[in-house]
Structures are given as structure tokens and as C-alpha cells.
Homo-oligomer: A and B are copies of this chain.
């Protein structure tokens, strides 16, 4: 099916291949983990100078792990669908023995000695970590273009941003360097780059994948997520990473369209393209005022928690931050505490208001991002003849679901101006399989 979709500029060895397909090839002897890892390493060597998706490539470690995976499979030990599959891990997530820079000069020399819990689970499932992927500094930015090691670049047009903060993970998968990558998502950091790079990205329910060993941006909003070519690979990876029980439903998913204009005045061509791909007819609307409160609540919680994480660095070593990140942190550090208290108190009310969307539907559909990938470092754009702040636009349709901890998936939904756009599907915790079913149904 993915062959029908338009392609990024330079397809890599995993473009158009699914993890399920790779798993089959591995088990039927058509390939080996060692071969897949070599393909990944070759593709990184070839493509990454242009895309900067990787901060660290662990060729030796990955080849050794691949040999072990091959040996295990040959010996009858089968760890499941990720066994032997090369993956990338966002550089905000700790992998024992590999530098974790967090995209920052503050952590230039940081070498973790333990795996994050999600990495432990990934390894237990047999996945082979080929390297660490570029993150916006400390994951503090949806543009993906401020990192100590330079911006990640969009495989569809390297002059454009990947989106972020998991920009390297998105670029690595979108360019076919790896079939799967881990990311984190505090306000959209998995879904935004997935959408802008034309791949799938899944942010599960809050806490469904443990965040231990992941550098915090905002504990109340941080989620670990996955990026892959399509939603089926996301689901497959998610099953390996969560201990949550997935509820099987027999009835088909009831999907409703949420007009994105109620959240943000985005590019109407994006909305219409995504809606056409979604094939959804019914519509739901947010109650009046809820969109503003969601945005405000997100911004306040995120800002105060992020400023708390970085308070000591701000006081003692501010010169090591990227200037834009520093400026944003300084603004965040000024927000008064009473607003944080009010924002935290707001959440149950918001959850109640948003729950009305799900009264008659299992899944809500809307674009993941209300515009296509801006140029690198672009901070203002024009939509419908009005100037628009790029960061606000990027976050507008994804961050509400972080405030409420709702599972949200983005899948490719065609292009506008030859750049990819994403269809976002949102559900309540426990309805994830309906979410994935809805994503797959759109193809038929």
C-alpha cells in the first residue's frame, strides 16, 4: 500500500518495508539481522550527512547485537517481531554505554551506564539499537532545528525542518535508514515530526510506556512513543514496549472528525486533504472555551516543569544552552506558581469537557499538524493571509492530548505542496486497538 504514497527524495533500504515484512524475511531466511543492520549502517553513512538524523552511530555494538540475534533465531530463540530489527533511539533516552547528549552542550560528555526502561524492553524484544537520533535541545522545541549537533533535516526537502523534538527519529525512519525508532512526546514531539516527515507516530496513553531513564521535559506531559512507516508497525512496537493490556473490541471503530479550526486557524488545504484521506463523515466539536483552556493549561504546566528541570543549569551555566532555548527557558522561569497550581487543577475539568467528544465515538480524527514543514529556523509563517507563529502552529493540534494523557496516532495522509501531512487519530485509554483499526480502515 505504501508504494502508492509519494516518497521522500532519497529512499533508503527500509523505505516501503514493514517490520512485519522484515520479520517474515528473517524467519524465512531471506535476510539476517546482520544484513539488516549493515543496510542501516550503509544508509546512515550515505544519507545522514545530508539529514543529520543521528547523533551517535554504534556500528560495532549494533553488529554484535545483530549477530547475537541471528544466533538466537538460528538456535530457535524467537523474541518476536522486533527480533533482529535495527532501530534508532532518540538521544533524550539513555542507552547504556552510548552518549546521551539530550541535544545539549550541557550533556556533551554524558555516558549513561544503564538502559532506560523502554530500551530494556526494546532489547528484550530483540531489537538492535544502531544509534541515537537527533533531538531538539532537551526536547524543548517542536521545530527540531536547535540541537548542539545541528538541526535534523526533512528527507522530503532538507532545507525544511523535520519538526521536533524527535526530529532525528522521524528523519531516520522517513529516509528509510531504519524501520523503527523511539521518540518522546510532551506536546507532539513524536507526532509532529512523524507528520512533517510523512511517517506514522504513536504517543500512547500517559504512563503506558515508562519514562524511567528518559530525560524529563515536563513530567506531567512526557510520553514515550514510537515512529515507524505505518500504524501497524507502531502497534507492533507498542505491544513490545507496554505492559498495558490491550482491549479487543469486535465492533468497528466509530470515528468522528474534529474540525481543527476550533483549535487553530491552520492551512485549510491541509485540513481538507487530511479530511478527504480520513473518509470520516460525522463531526464533533469542542465545547466553547475548551480549546483556549487546553492550550493555556499545556503551556503553563510545560513551562513551569521545564524551568524546574533546568533551574540549576539556568543559574549556573546558562551559556551552554542554545540561545533560543535559553530565551524560552527564561520566559518559562518567570511564570508564577499560582498559574501552575490553577493549570494542574484545570485538568479534571478539561478531561470532562473533552470526554463529551467520545460520547458517541471511539476515535476522533483531525490533522496532526495544521501546516506542512516550514523552512529550517523559520519562526513565523503566513496562513490564510495572517502571520502565524510556527511553534504555536506546530503544537496546536497535538498538545491538547498530552494534557489529558490520551493515546494519539498520526499516519501519512498525502501531501500538500509536495510535502507530507498527517492524519491524527485520538482515543481514550483502553481503546488503542480501535485507534489502530481506524487508521488501517482508512486505506480500504
Contacts and interface: CB of A to CB of B under 8 A. Distances in A.
Given A308-B345, A345-B308, A332 B340 contact: no
Nearest to A339: B337
Interface in A327-364: 332-342, 345
Contacts of A339: 308, 311, 337
A304 interface: yes
Contact of A336 (B335, B341, B342): B335
A297 to B, nearest CB: 13
Interface string A305-324: 10110010000000000000
A308 B311 CA distance: 22
Contact of A335 (B300, B311, B337): B337
A313 to B, nearest CB: 12
Among A311, A335, A336, chain B packs the most CB atoms within 10 A around the CB of A336
A303 interface: yes
Interface in A277-309: 300, 303-305, 307-308
A303 B340 CA distance: 12
A337 B342 CA distance: 11
Contacts of A335: 336-338
Nearest to A311: B338
Nearest to A342: B308
B332 A333 contact: no
Number of this chain's copies in the assembly equals 2
Between A300, A311, A341, the greatest number of chain B beta carbons within 10 A of the residue's beta carbon is seen for A341
Nearest to A332: B338
Given A308-B345, A345-B308, A336 B334 contact: yes
Interface centre among A300, A304, A335, A340 (most CB of B within 10 A): A340
Contacts of A305: 338, 341
A305 B341 CA distance: 6
Contacts of A345: 308
B342 A340 contact: no
A443 to B, nearest CB: 43
A342 B311 CA distance: 9
- With a 10 A CB-CB cut-off, give which of A305, A332, A336, A337 has the most chain B CB atoms: A337
B334 A304 contact: no
A114 to B, nearest CB: 21
A68 to B, nearest CB: 39
A403 B308 CA distance: 19
Contacts of A336: 304, 307, 333-337
Nearest to A307: B338
A335 B333 CA distance: 10
11 contacts: A304-B338, A304-B340, A304-B341, A305-B338, A308-B337, A308-B339, A308-B345, A333-B338, A335-B336, A335-B337, A337-B339
Given A307-B341, A308-B339, A308-B345, 8 more contacts: A304-B337, A307-B337, A308-B341, A308-B342, A333-B336, A336-B336, A337-B337, A337-B340
| A-B pairs with lowest CB-CB distance, top 4 | A304-B337, A308-B341, A307-B338, A337-B340
